[in-house]
Amino acid sequence: VKISELGEFGLIDLLASMINAATDKDTQAGRQLILGIGDDAAAWQAGDSVQLATVDALVENVHFTLETTHSTGSGQATWQELGWKALAVNLSDIAAMGGIPSYALVSLALPGQTEMEQVRALYRGIIELAQQFGVAIIGGNMSSAPLVVINITVLGSAKADKKILTRSAARSGDKVAVTGYLGASAAGLEMLSKHLPFKPEAADALKQAFLKPHPRVAEGQLLVKHGVRAAIDISDGLLSDLGHICRMSKVSARIEIERVPVHPAVKANFGDRALGLALSGGEDYELLFTASAGVIDKAKAAVKCPITVIGEVRAENAGEITLVDGKGQAVNLAESGWEHFISS
C-alpha cells in the first residue's frame, strides 16, 4: 500500500497505534506524559507546570512557492512571509491547547544557491512574529537540500492548576463556536494563484490571511481561563478539524451553515463558493471550540475578536457532522478538508 492511497490521516492513525503500543508507561517519560500523538500539541507534566511541544513543516512547492522576481501578487510568498507563516502555524497549535508559547527551534533545509539575504529575510519574518509573543529562538539545524523545507518546533507551557484545551473534551450539549472569520486564507491562495482582480482592500485582506496568519494565542489562553476545555485550530478546514474533535471526543456535531462566519471579502468575491471555502478551505488558524452556552458567553466577553456559535455537540452517531440550513434541513457539501498525499 502506498501512502498516497492511505492518505495523511490514515497514515497518522496507523503510526499512532504503532507508537502508542511501543510507549512504555513504566519509564519516567511515559508516566509524566499527559497527551501524546493526536492533539494539536503533546503535553507532559514537568514539576508544577505542564509542558507543550508541537512541530510543523512547510515544504517548497507543496505548501508554498517562492517569489523569484520583485513582482508580487502571484501566489508566491516572500522569504519573510514564509518565515512568519512557518512559525505562525506552530504558535497556532500552542494556542489551540490554551498554552503560552516560549521557545522555537528552526530546522532549515536549503539549496546551496540560496542567497544569504533570503535566509536573513526568512529569519526576519520568524523573529517579527516571535517577538510579538515573547518567543525565543533557541536552536535549530541547517542542511543542504535540493528544495526548501522549513521545520519549526515550538515549546510552550500551561499552568498545572488550570486545564488545557484538547480535542477529546467535547461533550454532548456543548455549543460549537469559532473565533474570527473563515475562508479568507484559501480564498487568498486562489486569488493569488489565479491573479483574480479584486478591489485593493479585499485583495489585501485575503493575501494577508493566506501569507501572514495571526495565531490566536491570547484568545486560547482566555478560552481556557473561562472554562473552555475542547478546542482545535483550523488548519485542515472547519469540517475536517471538527471531525477530529468529534472522533476524539466520541460525539457528533450539527452545524447551521447560515451561522458560519464567512469572511466578508470571501462573501463579496466568491459568490456561492464562499461557504465552501469557509467550511473546507483550511489554513484559517482560527480556534474551533466547544463549551456550554454560559462558558461561551463568558469567553465572548473576555476576548477581543468575534466569537460565533455555529452549532452544537450531540451524543448520537459519534464522529458524524451534520450540516443544516436555517430551517433545520440537512444539506450536503462534497468538499472536505486538505489532506496530504491524496491529490484532490
Footprint of a second copy on residues 134-153 (CB under 8 A)?
134-147, 149, 151, 153
Phi, psi of 288 (to 5 degrees): -105, 125
CA separation for the pair 103, 97 (Å, rounded): 16
Pairing of strands 100-110, 136-144: parallel
Query: Footprint of a second copy on residues 90-109 (CB under 8 A)?
Result: 100, 102-103, 105, 107, 109
Non-local (6+) Cβ contacts of 88 within 8 A are 129, 212, 213, 214, 215, 285
Name the residue with cell 479568507. Answer: 184
Does residue 1 belong to the site contacting a second copy (CB under 8 A)?
yes
CB of 273 to a second copy, least distance (A): 25
Residue nearer to a second copy on the CB measure, 80 or 179: 80
- Contact string 149-178 vs a second copy (x = CB under 8 A): x-x-x-x-x---------------------
Phi, psi of 32 (to 5 degrees): -85, -10
Does residue 246 belong to the site contacting a second copy (CB under 8 A)?
no
Query: Footprint of a second copy on residues 9-38 (CB under 8 A)?
Result: 11-12, 14-15, 18-19, 22-24, 27-30, 32-33, 35-37
Count residues near a second copy (CB under 8 A): 82
Residue nearer to a second copy on the CB measure, 81 or 312: 81
Residue nearer to a second copy on the CB measure, 72 or 107: 107
Does residue 114 belong to the site contacting a second copy (CB under 8 A)?
yes
From the list 221, 246, 242, 222, the residue with the least C-alpha distance to 232 is 242
8 A C-beta contact, residue 288 and residue 237 = no
Does residue 318 belong to the site contacting a second copy (CB under 8 A)?
no
8 A C-beta contact, residue 98 and residue 143 = no
CB of 135 to a second copy, least distance (A): 6
CB of 129 to a second copy, least distance (A): 11
Does residue 68 belong to the site contacting a second copy (CB under 8 A)?
no
From the list 287, 228, 252, 249, the residue with the least C-alpha distance to 168 is 249
**Residue 178, strand partner residues:** 288, 308
CB of 124 to a second copy, least distance (A): 8
Cell of 26: 513504566
Residue nearer to a second copy on the CB measure, 144 or 317: 144
CB of 21 to a second copy, least distance (A): 9
Does residue 110 belong to the site contacting a second copy (CB under 8 A)?
yes
8 A C-beta contact, residue 107 and residue 55 = no
CA separation for the pair 52, 159 (Å, rounded): 11
CB of 152 to a second copy, least distance (A): 9
Does residue 234 belong to the site contacting a second copy (CB under 8 A)?
no
Phi-psi region of 339 (alpha: psi -120 to 50; beta: other; left: phi over 0): beta
CB of 247 to a second copy, least distance (A): 17
